[in-house]
Amino acid sequence: MKSLEGKTAVITGCLQGIGRAAMDMFARNGANVFACSLKRTEEFENHIEELKNECGVEIIPVYFDMMDDESIKSAVKEIQKAKIPIDALVNIAGTDKDALFQMVKMDDLRSTYQVNVFAQILFSQYIVKLMLRHGKGGSVIFTSSISGLEGRAGQLAYASSKAAIVAAAKTMAAELGTSKIRVNTIAPGFIDTEMYKDVPKETIENKIKRTALKRMGQPEEIASVLMFLASERSSHITGQVIRIDGGKGV
């Protein structure tokens, strides 16, 4: 039996990177997926159709803007109308606006927190309500970063927002445990996604040198941990932060 057979997951950030890898892996392991994205593209829609045919599961695209609370609310109404019990929420979508501390613009700080913290908490509130209605518990997963655990020069907005979501997830875990809803966070390191496509090769090589495995991680490696946390194989794990960083600092 596939590890997510019969389950339904809501996954954000599905257009590319870790979100796309998670959508693919969840579907191939038997999960129905509400595939959330900021924008609709022909390539994305075609990929969803191919994945549905390949895996024999339901994949429903849901489009909304995390900068807009009303857009988030409308997306949840769309999910609710499907009347499919939600078993897992995987929060992956995020934004990154780098600047040194003294150069950080308050508008950039606010927009980073809106996407990486406020929108994710609001969306999670709505989805957890749907989980509570069917009364079978569930799994909520947030995506932080090693930057959120350690801090990093030039990433005040990003790192502090990712630290905030760790604290929020731990608080949610403490509150929702009696309802059989587990809440965990992953903290990826240097992953081979679009985020690093414009980073100079020398910078990437220097980052890799500081890891034990001496390579970047792949989106599929992150998706594997997300799948574990969404499945019953992690049924006694909640309130945790799991680093997926290739042994940075080891």
In a domain, 1, yes or no: no
Stated pTM of the model: 0.95
The predicted pLDDT at position 2 comes to 86
105 closest CA partner among 156, 150, 60, 149 = 156
Residue numbers of the domain that contains 62? 8-244
Identity at 180, one-letter amino acid code = K
In a domain, 2, yes or no: no
In a domain, 122, yes or no: yes
What mean pLDDT, rounded, does the chain reach?
A: 95
Q: What is the rounded distance in angstroms from the CA atom of residue 59 to the CA atom of residue 205?
A: 37
The angle, 0 to 180 degrees and rounded to 10, between the axes of the packed helices 17-28 and 219-230 is: 50
Number of domains making up the chain: 1
The predicted pLDDT at position 249 comes to 59
In a domain, 213, yes or no: yes
| Interval 9-50: pLDDT, tens | 999 999 999 999 999 999 999 999 999 999 999 999 999 999
Which residue of the set 113, 126, 158, 196 is catalytic?
158
Count CB atoms within 10 A of the CB of residue 245. Answer: 22
What is the gyration radius of the CA atoms in the chain, in angstroms?
17
Listed range (40-44, 170-174, 199-203, 228-232) with the worst mean pLDDT: 199-203
Does residue 126 have an active-site annotation? Answer: no
What's the CATH number where 156 sits?
Answer: 3.40.50.720
Residue listed under structure tokens 């929060």? 91
